[in-house]
Structures are given as C-alpha cells and as structure tokens.
Amino acid sequence: MDFLTGITIFLVTFIAVALFIPGMFTPFESETVDLNSIAYRTSVILVEDPGRWNNTTIGGSDWERNVTTRANLKRIGLAIDKDNPNVLHLNKIKFFNNDSFMNNSEVIYNLSLYRRIGTTNVTYGYNISIVELGDGTIIAERGEIISSTSGDVVSMKRTVLAQTGYYAYLDGENLTQEDPVANTKPWINVTGSQDEDVVFEITNFNVTNPASTKYQWIKLNNSAFTNYNLTTGTEYNVWKKTNTTDFVLSPPVTSPINRTDTLKFVINRTLFFAGNNTLEMNFGGIDFKGGDPLEYTDSLLPIYELARLTVRVWS
Amino acid sequence: MKNESAQMNTIEGVSAAVLMMITLFFVTQSSIITPQTEMVLDTQLKQLGNDALRVLDSEEITNNYTTNNTMLEMYVANWSADDLDSDLDMLLTDNIMYNLDFVHLETDLNMNRSRVITSGAPVENSVVVSRLVSLHSDDDVSTRWNLTIAPTDVKVVDVRLTLWYI
C-alpha cells in the first residue's frame, strides 16, 4: 500500500513535469525563429549587397550588365555598390522584377527561400515589394499574393532610395539654339529609342526681357514626326520650381520665368525612335547661344525615390 | 522492519516529486524567457531607424547637383529640427515614436547632449540608433552650435535617434 502511494505520487509529478517542459520552450519554437531570420537575411541581401556574377574567368557585382546565362548569377543584390547600402540600382530592380529574366523558382533558389527536409526542398511562400513612400507607386513586386491560407506571415521592412530613372540637368547658359533662325528656341538631341520617359531640368535662364518671359511650346523631329507639336498631359508635362515653391505642374505657359527658376520636362518615352530625336522649345524674353544641340544622353543623372522594401515570408 | 521499508517507499516517492518540482522551479526562474516576437520587433525597429539615418546621410538623396553635403549633414549644421522631424516622420512607419539628440564633445571635453526632437518619454523596449556626422568650417553652421571650427578642423556630432513602438 505504501509502495503504491509512493509510486503514484512519483508518477503523477513525473507526468506533470513531462507535460510542462515542452510548454517552457514555446517562445523558442524553431519555425518562428527560422522565418524571422529568413525575412531578415533576405532583406539584407537585397538592400545592402550589390550582388555577384561570375563565369569561369571573370566576375563582379554589376550582374545587371553581364548576366547572359543565369547560371552566372550567383547572388541577387540590388544595391548600387557595396559602399552605398540602401541605394538601389534601376536596372538591378528591373531585372529582379522581370519574370522572363528569372522565374519564381530561380528567385527562390537564389535567395535560399527554402529548407531541406531529407532529400527534398520545401520552399517558403514569399512576397517582396518595393513601394514608393510618397504616392504608394509599386516599383517592383515578386512572389505570391498573401492569402488567408498563408498561415503565419513574418515581414521585414526596410527604407531605401530606389533609382526610378534618369534625368538631364541643363544649364540655361549652356543650352544652344539653331543660330541664327531664332534666339529664344533652344534645342537638344536625344539619340535612340528610350526605355524610360525623357526627363530634363533647365535652370539659370539668361533673361533678356523680364516683362515678357514665357514658355510656349516644344516640338519633336525624328524618323516618325516632323516639327510635331507635343500635347501637354498625354505626351509631356512641364513642372516649374521657384525659389519659394517646389515643382508644381504648370500649364503650357508658365510666366514669368526668373533666372533661378527651374523647369522640368517629362516626355513620354514612346515618342522616341532610333536615330536622332531633336526637341526644340520656344521661350520668350530668354536668350540662348547658338550651336549644335546638346546631347541628352551625355548629361544624365539618376533619379532616386524614397521607397519601402518589404520582405514577407511564410511556410 | 517490513513496515519501515514500506514507509521508505512513500518517502522516496514524495522526495522524488519534491526534487523534480524544485528542479523545475529553478529552471523556470533562472532562464530568461524572452518571447521571440519581441526580439524580432526590436530588430525591425533598429533596422528602420538605421535605414532612416543612412538614407538621409546618402549622397544620392540630394540628387547630386545642389550641394556636396548630405541632407543629414545640412540639417545638423543648420540645426533644422523641423525639417529633420518631417523627414523622419515620413521615413519611419506610423506606429513609431522617436526622440532625437545631438551629442558632441565641447572644447573643455565635456559631453554636450542637446535634445532636438521630443515626442515623449521612451518606453521600456526602446532602441537607440546613431550616426556620426562631421561639421566642417565651410558648412553653413548655425549659431545655435555656439562653436567656431578651424579650417583644418572637423567637429564630429553623434546623431542619436531613440525609437519605440506605440
């Protein structure tokens, strides 16, 4: 009887302890740890690393220019270089976002979004997006749509500067016009068809008649158009920045134009074709010097937008 | 003799149970159980704070032509608390509050800490991120800094951002 009492007390406590132990380690469950660290790791690879490619002889981080065979792509990193983390390269984003350049399973294997169980690879669900902070424009999105069946989704958010295009910054004093026909009509040349909208800013205007400064029109000459007057809204837009205001979308005529004002032109990329595309603008009260048109593609600077890169992973 | 041995069985059972309970008690008390989710939230908060300062301190954000200084360098030199506040507000997510300090060494080697942005008292699980910014003599240094920088000298300011979730 005593033995029975003893063994009962022992067994009851033993079972209670045995049941309690797994609960003790709930916060350290491996599944949660794995997913969080995978989301973190993926965000670091994308945001802070410029990536890596190599073939049998050479290699580098400029994979967006050199990868013709995807087997040569060793790592997908989006940073412009290793010294500039959080600054993402336009073409790297484009290639990353291009389904035909790399399909879903290639992204999964390149970013190691899977775990190995026995001899099979079990992939994680993922969704990676780059969204502009201001207006919420989606710059890139890869992966699957999160659904109610996705289960626990873990995420890692990063703030980045994503390059969204190029623009030319032109000094009004250097801008040329077709001498001697008119001195208020500067021209620039854009060589070849364009992947992105043509964007240029002009400032430092040589104002000769302050009372009559104005912008009038912009015309295009190329293999498809002759002296074609571009339409605002659909084909191009002009923004104006002054000393006191940031860029404001302006109607075609923005008067007056002061020396320190900046005009920004954004012209639809579909209007440009192979060969020369010459753009001629017409101002009033502003003089430009004579000479051959400046080449747009010679003076390009990158445009960066603040954006949020979010990595979401689920099992 | 027989009875004593039987009692021993009971005593053994009870003492084994007590031993197990005491062991369990010590194990649960001694180990620091930090829920994993909290650690992840800290990492996320720290990452967003570091990203915000890093982005503001990158040359690319100024779009290359207006100045050689980064936004963060200009804000610190000009003591532009409002501009810095509105930029951080945009860069961080809505559920984050923050305080910002400028910390620098005075000429008499005293550490000077100035509160620049105050959103409230940080809560228990706040994180601090920081970035060093150098002020040069040719920067447009605000009189609030109350210092003169020799042409060959630089003044290093530690920009400290304290973040917490609301």
Cis peptide before A256 (omega within 30 of 0): yes
The C-alpha of B43 sits at a distance from chain A's nearest C-alpha, in angstroms, of 9
Tell me what pLDDT residue A88 has: 92
B54 and A14 within 8 Å at the Cβ level: the answer is: no
The 3-state secondary structure of B112-144, one letter per residue = EEEEEECCCCCCCCCEEEEEEEEEECCCCCCHH
> Within chain B, where are the H helices?
2-30, 36-56, 71-78, 81-91
Tell me what pLDDT residue A10 has: 86
Identify the residue with better confidence: B138 or A268.
A268
Residue in chain B closest to A160 (alpha carbons) equals B55
Q: Which of A46, A132, A159 to mutate to probe the B interface, most B CBs <10 Å?
A: A159
pLDDT tens sequence across A223-233: 999 999 999 88
Is residue B30 predicted with pLDDT exceeding 80? no
pLDDT tens sequence across B93-144: 888 999 999 998 887 788 888 898 998 888 888 999 999 998 887 777 787 7
Q: In which element (H, E) is residue A63 found?
A: helix A63-66
Q: How far is CA A289 from CA A176, A257, B125, in A?
A: 5, 18, 63
Residue in chain B closest to A158 (alpha carbons) equals B48
Q: Quick one: tokens of A232? A: 């605002």
Tell me what pLDDT residue B23 has: 87
Q: In whole angstroms, give the CA distance from residue A108 to residue A143.
A: 9
Is residue A255 predicted with pLDDT exceeding 60? yes
Q: Quick one: tokens of A233? A: 């809204």
- CB contacts of A84 in chain B (<8 Å) are 58, 60
pTM of the model: 0.74
List A178's β-bridge partners, or say none.
Answer: none
Tell me what pLDDT residue B120 has: 87
pLDDT tens sequence across B43-100: 889 999 999 999 998 877 765 555 678 888 888 888 888 989 998 998 998 889 999 9
Tell me what pLDDT residue B94 has: 86
Of A6, A157, A169, the CB nearest to B93: A157
CA of residue B79 relative to chain centroid, distance: 21
Q: Quick one: tokens of A56? A: 């049998």
Residues in chain A whose beta carbon is closer than 8 A to a beta carbon of chain B? 1-3, 5-10, 12-14, 17, 20, 24, 27-29, 32-33, 36, 40, 43, 47, 80, 84-87, 133-134, 154, 156-161, 163, 169, 301-304, 306
B9 and A6 within 8 Å at the Cβ level: the answer is: yes
Q: What is the 8-class DSSP label of residue A222?
A: S
Q: In which element (H, E) is residue A241 found?
A: strand A236-241
- CB contacts of A40 in chain B (<8 Å) are 40, 43, 47
Mean pLDDT estimate for chain A = 86
B43 and A40 within 8 Å at the Cβ level: the answer is: yes
Q: In whole angstroms, give the CA distance from residue B44 to residue A155.
A: 9
Going along chain A from its start, the domains and CATH numbers come out as: 8-163+305-314 (no CATH), 166-304 (2.60.120)
pLDDT tens sequence across A289-308: 888 888 988 888 888 889 99
Tell me what pLDDT residue A27 has: 55
The C-alpha of B3 sits at a distance from chain A's nearest C-alpha, in angstroms, of 9
